[in-house]
Amino acid sequence: MTNQTSGRVRRALIIGATGAIGQAIAQELKPSHEVVCLSRSSEPALDFTDLDSIALASQAIEERYGAHAFDLIIDCAGILHTPEWLPEKQLKDLNWPQMQETFLVNTLGPALIMKYFTSHLAKEHAVMAFLSAKVGSISDNRLGGWYSYRASKAALNMLIKTAAIELKRTQTNTAIVAIHPGTVKSRLSRPFRGDEIGRDPKIAATEILQVLSRVTAMQSGQFLAYDGTELPW
């Protein structure tokens, strides 16, 4: 974050900090922020497959740092595929376990992050961002396929938009946004030629943080790309 103001809290919370983008963002922030990282292996642990862990992690963070302690919270967690399954290409590929796990990580977990972690945002100015995906744009969907992933990110976008409306009334200096990181070299993108066509995570982290450093409370509820352009819902 580059737009410092006097008295600004200089602490960032990265959720999903063991992934390629999460790790890169944490490293990029460390010169200017105290960085707190949460993941399944952190202490406290935060695991989207254990929804109770979200409330417990929030409580532990408040006990450790107090209320309104972070000027930046970024959720970098997400799932596109597992060793057992890849994104569905056709309706006949839809199956309950895949849909359930995809929504759990991409939608339900982030929803509870909004519920439990918005109170950790600094009062003066703060940004909460969730990594979404351009394929979650309904109006931009021209190829079809990837049913669960597309739908889970579209649902995440709606949650962000709805939360932004509420926060404009209750936390007027907060911006909550969805951000599309583009294709990044990572485990998530590897089955889809990510190592060939993707950007280095460090570059992606720099671009994402540059966008977030310019976000104002007036932009709360927007769906942004890594280059700062606003994406269609």
The 10s digit of each residue's pLDDT in 59-101 is 999 999 999 999 999 999 999 998 899 999 999 999 999 999 9
Residues 156-180 have pLDDT tens digits of: 999 999 999 999 999 999 999 999 9
Q: Per the structure block, which two tokens stand in for 27?
A: 């490293």
Domain segments of the chain as ranges: 11-225
Q: Treating both helix axes as pointing N-terminal to C-terminal, what angle do 20-29 and 201-214 enclose, rounded to 10 degrees?
A: 60
CA distance 76 to 87: 19
Residue 161 has φ and ψ, to the nearest 5°, of: -60, -40
pTM equals: 0.91
CA distance 134 to 116: 26
CA geometry: angle 22, 117, 42, nearest 5 deg: 45
Residue tagged 């993941």 (tokens): 39
Q: Per the structure block, which two tokens stand in for 60?
A: 């532990």
Going by the DSSP 8-state scheme, the letter that residue 107 receives in this structure is: I
Give residue 110's identity as a one-letter amino acid code. P
Residues 41-64 have pLDDT tens digits of: 999 999 999 999 999 999 999 999
CA distance 143 to 214: 32
11-225 CATH choice from 3.40.50.720, 3.40.50.2300, 3.40.228.10, 3.30.70.940: 3.40.50.720
- Name the average pLDDT for the chain: 92
Sheet containing 11-15: order of strands: 34-38, 11-15, 72-75, 126-131, 174-180, 223-225
Mean pLDDT of the 105-127 span:
97
Residue 193 has φ and ψ, to the nearest 5°, of: 65, 25
Residues 2-34 have pLDDT tens digits of: 333 334 569 999 999 999 999 999 999 999 999
Nearest CA to 68 out of 111, 6, 113, 124 is that of 124
Q: Is 44 helix (H, G, I), strand (E, B) or coil?
A: coil
Question: Which residues make beta-bridge pairs with 36?
Answer: 13
CA distance 28 to 91: 41
Element housing 195 (H / E): helix 194-197
CA distance 225 to 149: 18
